[in-house]
Amino acid sequence: MSFSLTWKGWILSWDRNDFHTFLYDPWTREEIGLPRFTHDLPRVFDCALSDKPTNPGRIVVILHPDEPYFWYCRIGGMSEWIKYDYDVGMDPADPKGLTWKKRVLHFLRSCNGKFYFPIASVKHGIIEFNPNPVIRIVTMHGFRGGYSGMPRGFRARSCNFELDGEPYKFYVFYEGKLNITSIALYKVDLVQQRFVEVDRIGDQALLWSSYSGGCCPATKFELESSCVYWTRRDDGSMHIFNIAEGTHRVCYQPSQDLPKLSSEAFWLLPSNQNV
C-alpha cells in the first residue's frame, strides 16, 4: 500500500495489487472513492487536493516523482486519471552543468482552489484548472533584504504551511553544518506577488517534519504560541523557533539515556474542524 498525506489530514491510499485508489479521513473514517490509478508509484509520493474533498468537482493531483508530468482527476466527475506534461524550466543534469533536463516538481500546495509551487528563491508557479491545467510563473518580491542581500555563502532550510487558508513559508538561515543565524516566517501573497514577513500567528504553533508542516492551537495542546517545533534529522533533537522574538533553542537533546526523536512523522489535522 502506498500513501500520500493531503489536505488537512486526508490520506490518499493506493493499492498496487488491485489499483484501488481512495481518499481516507482517519478521524471520521470517511472514504471517498477515486478512479483506479494503474501506474506505478513509490511507497510515499506527493499528492495535492485543490480544496475540501467532500465538495464535488475538487481536483486531485498526483506528481510523478522523477518525470515532468502529473496525473489529475475531479472528484465525482471523472472515470480515469488524465496525464499532463508540464514545462517549468530546466535544471542541470550533472554537477558541472554540461547537460540539462526539464525541472521536476516534487510537491504542490493548494490555496483557494489553485495549486502553487516554488521555482526558485523569488519565483513561484501557479496551476489553475479552467477546466484543463494552465501554469503561470510569477516573480515574488519582499524577501528580507532581497535574496541577493543575504550573507555570502548563506544556506537555508524551509517548510511550507497553511494558516487560515493562506500559504506560508518558514525559513531557518544557517552557516556551516547547522549554525542557525536567523529565522523568518513569510505569508506567500500570490495575488500581490509578495513575501510578507510575519512575526506573530496568534495562539497557534507550527509543527515541522520531513514530510510537511501543520498547525494546531498552542494553548489547547500545551505548546508555545507563535512558535515552530522542528525535529532535526541527523541527531534527533527537537528545536523551538519563536517567531515573535526571533529566537531559537533546543528543548530536547538525545543522550545515552534519552532516545533520538523521529523526524519522519507527519501531522494529521482534523479535516472536519478549523484549527
Round to whole Å and give the CA distance between 203 and 225: 5
The HSE-up count of residue 27 (CA atoms within 13 Å, CB side) is 10
Q: Which three cell numbers stand for residue 187?
A: 505569508
pLDDT classification of 7: cutoffs 50, 70, 90 = low
pLDDT at 274: 43
Angle at 108 between CA 52 and CA 115, to 5 degrees: 60
CB-based contact 107:87 (threshold 8 Å)? no
Strand, helix or coil for residue 57: coil
Task: Summarize pLDDT for 99-149 with one digit per residue, the tens.
Answer: 999 999 988 888 778 898 888 767 889 999 998 999 999 988 876 654 444
Q: Residue holding cell 506560508?
A: 168
pLDDT at 271: 41
Other C-beta atoms lying within 10 Å of the C-beta of residue 271 = 20
- What is the Cα 88 distance to its own chain's centre? 18
Domain boundaries, the chain: 1-139, 142-269
pTM listed for this prediction: 0.79
> Mean of the per-residue pLDDT values for the chain?
84
pLDDT classification of 226: cutoffs 50, 70, 90 = very high
pLDDT classification of 70: cutoffs 50, 70, 90 = very high
